[in-house]
Amino acid sequence: MTISFLLIVQIILVVILVIAVLLQKSSSIGLGAYSGSNESVFGAKGPNAFLSKATFTIGFLFVANTIALGYMYSATAQDSVVDNMVETTNVVAPTAPTTAPVAPATTPEAPATK
């Protein structure tokens, strides 16, 4: 349960990190051109300082989540599949044949003579 939750968080962090990196202003402007109207919201310097701090924070969370996932996967890798197998055998060992006591053969009696 915990590993699947951390995997979902990892995917969300990757998407947010990619968006944060692409929104930053670069020499070729990239997707940062779409954030020009936000300059008044983030102050006189624009969103550059905010995006760089956000990118650092998201990157740090990504690395911490990656380390936690690696630790949890290595902890579960200590268990072997063979150790968790339940041995079920349907083979019955042969036993010595048991014979019912045989009644002695009876001979028909001869009819009585008079």
The reply to whether 35 falls in a domain is: no
The reply to whether 67 falls in a domain is: yes
Q: What is the domain extent for residue 67?
A: 2-27+46-76
The reply to whether 37 falls in a domain is: no
Average pLDDT over residues 84-98: 72
Percentage with pLDDT > 90 across the chain = 28
DSSP 35: G
Q: With cut-offs at 50, 70 and 90, classify the pLDDT of residue 68.
A: very high
Distances (CA, A) of 71 to 26, 28, 56, 58, 67: 36, 39, 23, 20, 6
Mean pLDDT computed over every residue of the chain: 76
The reply to whether 12 falls in a domain is: yes
How many structural domains comprise the chain?
A: 1
pTM equals: 0.53
Sign of the dihedral defined by the CA atoms of residues 50, 19, 66, 84, in that order? positive
Residue type at 55 in one-letter notation: T
Query: Cα(107)–Cα(37) distance, rounded to whole angstroms?
Result: 119
Query: Cα(70)–Cα(57) distance, rounded to whole angstroms?
Result: 20
Judged against a pLDDT cut of 70, whether residue 55 lies above it is answered with yes
Q: With cut-offs at 50, 70 and 90, classify the pLDDT of residue 16.
A: very high
